[in-house]
Amino acid sequence: MTISKIPYWQRKPSKKVTEWVQNISNLLSDGQVRTVRNITYHFYPGIHGKELDLAYHNIVKYIVRGRAVTHTIKWNSIRESRVKLNAGKGWENTKEFIDYHTKDLADRYSRDKTPSHMKQFEVWFEKDTIEPEFSEVCGKYDVPNMATRGQLTWTAKKKASERLDGDSVILYFGDNDGKGREIFDVICRDLKYLGCGVRVLWAGITGKQELKYGLSPECRLDGVDLEDLKRIVEKAVLRYIDVDKFNAIIRQEGKDIKLLEGLKITVK
């Protein structure tokens, strides 16, 4: 394979490309972080299928030029798949270790919220680009959550079959199109094959959610405005939360934090 010495994003842009880069830059000027899919839906409402895929790939190219060449689009304004660098080191000494773990001790503390769960349930979602939003909502209620990253691995499905029973529920979020529904159906089929009687419920994206939030038909999960996505997820989660018990835990958590704020640990 021969790599072009002058990639597309270094070539002299056409008037159309320049205008599109500016349009996207204007959209992102409000400081809101968006996924590429969400930007595509903003400019191409109502389209889906191959037409949407083509628009998506064009938007990707405009964003690359705006970030890497014209610098009119901030790098951190686009939400992309996260890549984790595994690296670390040990502690210099015991004092450094203790100082790290006791610093802002009260801010780090949280009380277990699972007693407020009406039953054992988990949240699964198809795209890892919106993992922070799911983690934020699920973390508030201590709900286990997992990005399936498309079709889930057999190892992950086997582990799920071992920890979940017939009274458990999985709230699943995926693309509201043929492929998204196919991924969901395969997960349901394979869990059943593994002897897991867990109920897997399609929690989003649904046709009703598309209408309520002004989304395109056959909406992709990462095409939803991130704040709207959090609202959708929280509404689904709250169906399995005893709000009175949750609020009681929060009150006790507040008392615990006050105690921690006065705690002092010294190292000789």
d(CA 140, CA 105): 18
Q: What does the pLDDT read at residue 264?
A: 63
Q: What are phi and psi of 49, to 5 degrees?
A: 70, -145
DSSP 201-244: EEEES-HHHHHHTTPPTT--GGGS-HHHHHHHHHHHHHTTB-HH
**Domain ranges across the chain:** 8-78, 118-241
Q: What does the pLDDT read at residue 5?
A: 83
Tell whether the model's pLDDT for residue 105 goes beyond 70. yes
- Give 19's contacts (C-beta < 8 A, 6+ positions apart): none
Residue 64: exposure state from Cβ atoms within 10 A (0-12, 13-18, ≥19): middle
Nearest in space to 193 (alpha carbons), one of 157, 222, 220: 157
DSSP 156-173: HHHHHHHH--TT-EEEEE
| pLDDT tens readout for residues 128-187 | 999 999 999 999 999 999 999 988 999 999 999 999 999 999 999 999 999 999 999 999
Span 10-24, average pLDDT = 95
| pLDDT tens readout for residues 58-93 | 999 999 999 999 999 999 999 987 666 677 788 888
Q: Report the predicted TM-score, pTM, of the whole model to 2 decimal places.
A: 0.83
Whether the CB-CB separation of 175 and 142 falls below 8 Å is answered with no
Tell whether the model's pLDDT for residue 267 goes beyond 60. no
Whether the CB-CB separation of 173 and 203 falls below 8 Å is answered with yes
Helices 36-43 and 15-27: crossing angle, nearest 10°?
110
d(CA 240, CA 73): 41
Write the CATH number of the domain with boundaries 118-241: 3.40.50
The number of residues making up the chain comes to: 268
